[in-house]
């Protein structure tokens, strides 16, 4: 942890210098990459993968709503390579009869996700994957506001008795320890409050790896999406397994 702290401080100094010479977009990209590198050192990049059970036989395909930002939407990728398409294919290959509704909007924040939740739920999904917060963090928006927005989303989904998988995000150390501590606590806290499954870091195994990202250094390329799908599929499968069947 001491090494992670030193790395974080070094990153902060580098980012401060970069802000003096780079465009805002270039700064954000570098903030994101080095932030993830520091956090991977701090947490050891380890995430426990649940064991997938065999899918139960069902009639009509289940509908999974993927409510997110550009990472869900498939920014910069043709539709067949996008996250929701690859995830649907991976789940079907494992025997899950599921249709994934892509409700990702590039540039969206937690506030945007909350404001369009009613519209997204009009498709009457059986379960929901929530992937929001990266843009709040990259813009340095108040973590308390992001928490309130995500709380509002989860509260509505709980009222509708919809199973949820909450995908987390990490904050850049360049935003300061107070900000990072407040932001990083949002996802595990809300997962406990609403008793929903948590996938700690949506970009696990992909962030900060140039070979797995597009030229902007933020959005995963097709190979990066494949890695994300491989890692998150067991969690999504467990989410689908949790859906109560009529008469069950």
**What mean pLDDT do residues 57-72 have?**
89
- Looking at CATH, the fold of the domain delimited by 62-241 is given as Rossmann fold (3.40.50)
Least Cα distance to 173 among 46, 26, 30 occurs for 30
- First CA to last CA across the chain, in angstroms? 47
Estimate the crossing angle of helix 24-43 against helix 2-19, to 10 degrees.
180
Q: What radius of gyration, in Å, describes the C-alpha atoms of the chain?
A: 18
Nearest Cα residue to 34 out of 139, 167, 172, 145: 172
- The catalytic residue positions are 70, 216, 219
Nearest to 84 by CA among 61, 59, 66: 66
What mean pLDDT value characterizes the chain?
84
Structural domain boundaries in the chain:
2-43, 62-241
Pseudo-torsion of CA 130, 134, 135, 138, nearest 10°?
Answer: 170
- Residue 204's pLDDT band (cuts 50, 70, 90): very high
3-state SS assignment for residue 102: strand
Q: How many CB atoms lie within 10 A of CB 184?
A: 20
Q: In the prediction, which pLDDT does 173 show?
A: 87
pLDDT of 9 = 39
In this structure, is the dihedral angle defined by the CA atoms of residues 118, 123, 127 and 133, taken in order, positive or negative?
A: negative
Q: How are beta strands 62-68 and 197-199 bridged, if at all? A: unpaired
Kindly indicate the confidence band of residue 59, based on its pLDDT and cuts at 50, 70 and 90.
Answer: confident
Q: By 3-state DSSP, what share of the chain in percent is helix, strand and coil, each rounded to 5?
A: 55, 10, 35
Note the pTM of the prediction, 2 decimals. 0.80
């Amino acid at each position: 942890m001491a090494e992670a702290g030193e790395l974080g401080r070094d990153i902060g100094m580098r980012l401060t210098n970069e802000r003096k010479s780079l465009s805002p977009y270039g700064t954000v990209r570098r903030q994101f990459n080095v932030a993830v590198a520091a956090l991977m050192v701090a947490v050891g990049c380890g995430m426990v993968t649940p064991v997938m059970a065999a899918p139960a036989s069902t009639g009509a395909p289940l509908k999974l709503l993927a409510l997110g930002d550009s990472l869900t939407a498939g920014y910069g990728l043709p539709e067949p390579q996008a996250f929701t398409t690859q995830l649907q294919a991976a789940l079907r290959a494992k025997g899950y009869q599921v249709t994934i509704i892509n409700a990702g909007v590039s540039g969206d924040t937690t506030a945007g996700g909350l404001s369009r939740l009613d519209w997204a739920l009009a498709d009457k999904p059986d379960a929901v994957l929530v992937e929001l917060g990266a843009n709040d963090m990259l813009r340095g928006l108040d973590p308390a506001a992001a928490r309130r927005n995500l709380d509002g989303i989860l509260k509505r989904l709980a009222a509708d008795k919809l199973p949820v998988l909450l995908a987390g995000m990490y904050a850049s150390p360049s935003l300061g320890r107070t900000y990072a501590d407040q932001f990083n606590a949002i996802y595990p806290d809300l997962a406990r409050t609403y008793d929903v499954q948590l996938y700690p870091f949506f970009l696990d195994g992909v962030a900060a790896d140039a070979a797995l990202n597009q030229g902007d250094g933020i959005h995963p390329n097709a190979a990066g999406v494949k890695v994300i799908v491989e890692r998150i599929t067991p969690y999504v499968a467990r989410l689908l397994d949790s859906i109560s069947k009529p008469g069950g």
